[in-house]
Chain A
């Protein structure tokens, strides 16, 4: 099976812009989670989607949003970008029968100037 794919892999934006990141889960996985990874804060949970519905949400401002499509692909959007949003954004997919085991994509590196 193909793994989790994320596009784009690298992105440069300026403050105030918005950005959309995409994630395609492993075939058959219906749950997608998003994480932000920074050197200072480590890995922080953003949100989880299952069956096109947000099931869990981390402690991030409303500028961070996401959605999931009927084919389980997911997008996350960050509006009004701030310098502090520069990070590696990781997507993970899971099969709900595996007790929370998540499989990660390679990530999207976002740099905000």
Chain B
């Protein structure tokens, strides 16, 4: 069965500093990987996704993620964090379940706090 691990429950960074959120996955086939962001009391917004090809993918809001098959990782990065980036971030892997269906499995999330 597939799984996703986000080792950091909570990260605090200063505004303007760089950010890296870690994600490790376990899946037997080529993974489809996603990062979502959730503001308090809201739904999940898709930041970026990786299906194949270039291992560095660009997303919205200045985020990027790098897929490393050898490390089973898909870490999210941003060069300069803004106060509005404070939120919870979820990594997910899509597993094919047949007949065109995919099932997303999420990590437990990393809560990002930003110090002014």
Interface residues of chain A, those whose CB is within 8 Å of chain B, are 4, 6, 31, 33, 42-43, 45, 48, 50, 55-56, 88, 90, 92, 94, 96, 99-107, 109
Contact = CB atoms under 8 A, between A and B. Distances in A.
Contacts of B102: 94, 99-100
Contacts of B32: 99-100
Say whether chain A's binding surface is mostly helix, strand, loop, or mixed.
strand
Nearest to B6: A42
Interface string B24-43: 00000000101010000111
Interface stretch (B11-19, B61-69, B73-81, B104-112): B104-112
Interface in B77-116: 90, 94, 96-97, 99-109
B46 A103 contact: yes
A100 B106 contact: no
A102 B43 contact: no
Contact of A56 (B42, B101, B107, B108): B101
Contacts of B34: 101
A56 B103 contact: yes
A96 B100 contact: yes
A94 B44 CA distance: 14
14 contacts: A33-B103, A43-B90, A45-B103, A90-B43, A90-B44, A96-B100, A99-B49, A99-B94, A99-B102, A100-B96, A104-B36, A104-B44, A105-B43, A109-B41
A67 B109 CA distance: 29
What are the 8 A-B residue pairs with the smallest beta carbon separation, nearest first?
A: A100-B102, A100-B94, A104-B43, A43-B106, A104-B44, A106-B43, A96-B100, A55-B101
Given A33-B104, A100-B102, 4 more contacts: A55-B101, A99-B51, A100-B104, A107-B43
B111 to A, nearest CB: 11
B43 A42 contact: no
